[in-house]
Amino acid sequence: MFFKFFLVLFVSCPLLFSKPSPTLDLEGRQFLVIDGDTDTVLFEHDADIRMYPSSMTKILTAYLIFEEVASGRISLNTLFRISLTASKAGGSKMYLPAGKTVSVENLIEGIFVASGNDACICAAENMAGSEEVFVDRMNQKLKEFGCKGSHFMNASGMPHPDHYSTCRDLYIIAKRLYVDFPQYRHFFAQQTFTFGKGTHKNLNRLLKTFAGADGLKTGHTKAGGYGVITSAVLNNQRIFCVFNGCKTMVERNRVSDMLMQWAYQTFEQVRIFPKGHVVANLDTWMASKPSMGAVLESEVLLTLPKAGKQNITSELIFSGPLEAPLKKGEQVGELILTIPEQGTQLAYPIYAQTDLEKANYFQRIPLILNYLLFGKNTQ
C-alpha cells in the first residue's frame, strides 16, 4: 500500500515574490553565490559556462596534495626536489631554486599565498613523476567529483585552449577542500608567506576587508580576466562566491566584498527541524508494536531571504503500513518540503527510530480482528 501524509508548517520565512539579485555588470562574466551549508544558490549568472579558471585551478592541485598527506605517503615535512622545469615556470611564482629541496608545507603556502606556478609543477613532478601524469589524476578527480564542465591541461592554470572550468565546478572543488580537509583551512586564509629572501602577499583582499573571510583563491589571465573563489563564515553560515571576468584587480576586490555583503544582508538560514526529530508515528502491520517513530537523520536547514513571511508545506511519503522486521536506521520514507513562491521541492529521507520485530502468534489474532472490524492497528 502507498500512503501520503500532508502537513503544513507555519514558519517565519521569507516570501519570494521575486528572487533578490545584486546589481552587477554581467556582460562577459560568470558568477555563482551559494550557501555552502545547504548548497542553496543565492545568485548565479552563466555559472555553467566554460571559462578559463586561471590560478583558481590550483585548488584541485592542493586537494591532491592534501590527499597524499592524509594517506600517509607524504607529510607536511616531506622535502621535494626542485627541477629546472619547475624553477623556470612562468607567471606568478614563489621563486624555487633549481636543484634544491622544499617542504610540502612551503609548497602549500606558495600555492595559496604566492599563487606559485613553480610550486604546482614541483608538487606535481614529485607526487606523480611528471606534471602530465599528475594532470591525468586531476581530470580523474574532476570526474569523481562530478565536475562535468571542466578539463585541465596543467597543474597551475596557465592558459591553454583545452584548459577550462565553470563557476559551479570550482565551487564543488572548493567545498570539498573545506569539508574533507578542515585541518588545513588556515592555509586558505594565510595572508603573507616568506620564502628565501622574499615575502609574498595574498591577493585575496577579502581576507582583510570582510570579517569572517577565510579563503580561498584568486586567478588572473588575459583570456579569463580577474576571478576569485571566496569563502566566509558569519553566524555559523558559510557562503562561497565564485566569479570570473573582471577587468582589473581593483574591480575584483570591490565585487567580492560587495557580493559577500549582499549575501549575508539578504539571506539567512532557518532551521525547520532538528536532527533526530520525530516527523510522524507510522502504523505497522503484524509487528510487535502498533506504530513506530520516523525520524530525520540530520537537521532540516533552509537558506532563505530575510524579508517577508510564508508557509512551507510538508508532505510525508511512505509505503505502509510498515512491515516487520525493520532495523533502526532503515529508510522508511521521505519528507518533502515545498516552498511555493520559489517553486522548490526538497526531499529528506526519514528512518526507523527503533528496531521493529514481527508480532508473535498471540499478538497476530487481535491485530487481524482490529483491522477487519475497525481498520486500525491497536494493541
Q: What is the pLDDT of residues 303-331, one digit of tens each?
A: 888 876 567 788 888 876 788 788 998 99
First to last CA, the chain: 21
* Same domain flag for 110 and 193: yes
Q: For residue 82, give the 3-state DSSP assignment.
A: coil
CA distances from 306 to 13, 43, 340 (A): 7, 15, 16
Kindly report, residue by residue over 268-304, the tens digit of the pLDDT.
Answer: 998 889 999 998 888 777 667 778 889 999 899 988 8
Residue numbers of the domain that contains 355: 2-13+274-374
**Final residue of a domain: which of 238, 267, 296?**
267
* Same domain flag for 149 and 293: no
Kindly report, residue by residue over 195-210, the tens digit of the pLDDT.
Answer: 988 899 999 999 999 9
* Same domain flag for 141 and 279: no
CATH code: domain of residue 123? 3.40.710.10
**Final residue of a domain: which of 236, 267, 298?**
267
Q: Which residues of 90-120 are buried (b: 16+ CB within 10 A; e: fewer)?
A: ebbbbbbeeeeebebbbbbbbbbbbbbbbbb
Check if the beta carbon of residue 308 is closer than 8 Å to that of residue 340: no
Indicate the DSSP class of residue 211: T
Sign of CA dihedral 44, 50, 52, 55: positive
Distance CA 367, CA 372 (A): 9
Name the residue among 55, 51, 246, 261 with its Cα closest to residue 168: 51
Model-level pTM? 0.86
The confidence score (pLDDT) of residue 8 equals: 45
Specify if 99 maps to a domain. Answer: yes
Number of domains observed in the structure of the chain: 2
pLDDT band at 17, cuts 50/70/90?
very low
